[in-house]
Structure 1
Amino acid sequence: MPLSPEQEAEITEQRSAPQQTLRAVSEGMESHLYTAYPVLDHGFIRVVDYMGDDAAICQAARVSYGKGTKSVQNDEGLIRYLMRHWHSTPFEMCEIKLHVKLPVFVARQWIRHRTANVNEYSARYSILDREFYIPAPEHLAAQSVVNNQGRGEALEGEEADRVLRYLRDDAMRCYDHYEEMISQEGQQGLARELARMNLPANIYTQWYWKVDLHNLLHFLRLRADSHAQYEIRVYAEEICKVVADWVPFAYRAFEDYRMGGATLSSTALDCVRRMLKGETVTQENSGMSKGEWREFEGLLG
């Protein structure tokens, strides 16, 4: 189960005791506070706290640009301008703190984004739960033959059954040995900080993750992308839903300019100009490598 009874009770208590505040409040985010949204088989994300909203982004930008900006541009127009021209500082005025439960191998990918404050559940002091990520059959894929980082077709039949059996059995066996090693019944018991080394990478961990909106959007641009690994992408997609309600103007601009947009090199831009003039442009006369040309063709459809 994603949430323990104790966590469910804590969330119920937190949501039943709203506090008055004089700070800026995002109505869209208030509906998400403390609610746990399930991800994968045992994971979740939930918003623990946040600061700022779309207005905070504009407030920061107008301090930078001086008086009078408000009369020229509305808030959404200003935010789109900031996003379009890569003015990142105003987006740093908003922050979010998430409580995330995720498999360890996903956490190791996630932590590569070294732009957040993180505090993880400690297996030195506490005993990890017997919870492991086991992929659904449709996500049990073979290695891609064209991309060393990607997946190919889903495994089928006896091979899929065997792999799932290995994942379940090996995880359970490792946890059995973990429990046996730390047990103090009839023995001293191995220290938890040492016993944890025997646990598999698909066991679940938890952390608090606090990040500003600028760095969060960078995380989402990479991890909510269709090419990202499925197991981290589903977390990013769930966070996207929250961000869309928290800062709707900023999120719409992000979708338009970052998720749905593309960056062209000067060479690629020159090729576009030549095409618009009616010139036939090929990889051979484009000035691009085969890889660059393939990506360029993909952008143009």
Structure 2
Amino acid sequence: MALTDEQRSEIEAVRAAPHQTVRPTVPAMEALLFEPFPLLDHGFIRVVDYMGGDSAVVQAARVSYGKGTKKTSEDAGLIRYLMRHRHSTPFEMCEIKFHVKLPLFVARQWIRHRMASVNEYSARYSVLDKEFYLPDATQIAAQSKVNNQGRGETLSPETAAEVLSILQRDALQCYGDYERMLDPEGLGVARELARINLTLNAYTQWYWKIDLHNLMHFLALRSDPHAQYEIRVYAQKMIEILKAWVPHTAQAFEEYRLGAYSFSAGMLKVLRRRLAGESVTQETSGLTKREWTEMQAVLEG
């Protein structure tokens, strides 16, 4: 269960008490504000605040006093231009703050994106909940033979069941020892020490605030098929939120970032030679075998 009844009551109370404002808002974001979206087995993500929208991007680009232009098509065209030519500053004028509940190992990948403000639940101050991420059996796979940091073929149902049993057993044992160490009438260990025995599939929570430009950089990397499945789940939900928040920006982002590919100078030379009618092979291309394979994968779809 991602949220307790108490947490749901708190969220409903906040949503039931709207606040008047004169600042520009996005109706679609107002509708989903505070709403938790369950992810994985116990995780969730929700928007707790945001600033700006597509109009703020346009306003910053034109340094105008209004929200944008009277024609939506003109705003959309400008945003596409900014995205296409990688003008990042106007997108930095928008910010969003998420409340995220996620497994510790996902958090350690996530925190690598340093252009954000983060405040994490403190296990020095509070006791972590007895919740652990256990992957679906279909996500339990062997080490990839071609990617040193990825998964390969899915393991058999029998092997997957054994792996799940090990993960659950170890998580429960470590948490039991964690409680035993914390017990003031038992070992009475300090929280900051007791926590070090917990497994990486234990859940943590944080508030994560980031500007739109850096959010899109995060999403471009973490929604990629090569990203780890568990963090990709969060990124995909955030892309849905992005579409509600800044629809024109999200469309341009999908067109010029998610659905695009950058060719190296060497690759462009190969393409020009091909367009000129020349037959080019990997051996005559000047590209490494890996570069050639990557280029062919993009061209052949």
The TM-score with structure 1 as length reference comes to 0.96
Deviation at 1:153, TM superposition (A): 1.2
Runs of 4+ in 1 over 3 A off after TM superposition: 69-73
The answer for the alignment partner of 1:249 in structure 2 is 248
* Residues 71 and 241 (structure 1), Cα distance of their counterparts in 2 relative to 1, 3 Å cut: closer
The answer for the alignment partner of 1:209 in structure 2 is 208
SS across alignment from 1:31: helix
Q: Write the mapping of 1:193-208 to structure 2, written as runs, cut at 5 A.
A: 193-208=192-207
Q: Distance in 2 between matches of 1:43 and 1:142?
A: 24
Indicate whether 1:105 and 2:105 are aligned.
yes
Q: Write the mapping of 1:1-301 to structure 2, written as runs, cut at 5 A.
A: 1-63=1-63, 74-185=74-185, 187=186, 189-301=188-300
SS across alignment from 2:118: strand
* Residues 175 and 76 (structure 1), Cα distance of their counterparts in 2 relative to 1, 3 Å cut: same
**Residues 85-107 of structure 1: CA deviation (Å, up to 9, x unaligned):** 00000000000000000000000
SS across alignment from 2:152: strand
Output the amino acid matched with 2:29: M
* Residues 23 and 149 (structure 1), Cα distance of their counterparts in 2 relative to 1, 3 Å cut: same
Structure 1: gaps of 5 or more residues = none
The TM-score with structure 2 as length reference comes to 0.96
**Residues 213-267 of structure 1: CA deviation (Å, up to 9, x unaligned):** 0000000000011111000000000111001110000000000000000111111
| Seq. identity, % | 60
Mapped contact 2:180–2:187 kept (Cα < 8 A):
no
Structure 2: gaps of 5 or more residues = none
Q: Distance in 1 between matches of 2:70 and 2:139?
A: 52
* Residues 270 and 16 (structure 1), Cα distance of their counterparts in 2 relative to 1, 3 Å cut: same
Number of residues paired by the alignment? 298
Mapped contact 1:38–1:44 kept (Cα < 8 A):
yes
Mapped contact 2:137–2:157 kept (Cα < 8 A):
no
SS across alignment from 1:270: helix
Deviation at 1:275, TM superposition (A): 1.2
Q: Distance in 1 between matches of 2:155 and 2:46?
A: 33
Deviation at 1:299, TM superposition (A): 1.0
CA RMSD of aligned residues (A): 1.7
**Residues 24-60 of structure 1: CA deviation (Å, up to 9, x unaligned):** 1011211110000000000000000000000000000
Q: Distance in 1 between matches of 2:156 and 2:290?
A: 32
Mapped contact 2:98–2:207 kept (Cα < 8 A):
yes
Deviation at 1:188, TM superposition (A): 5.5
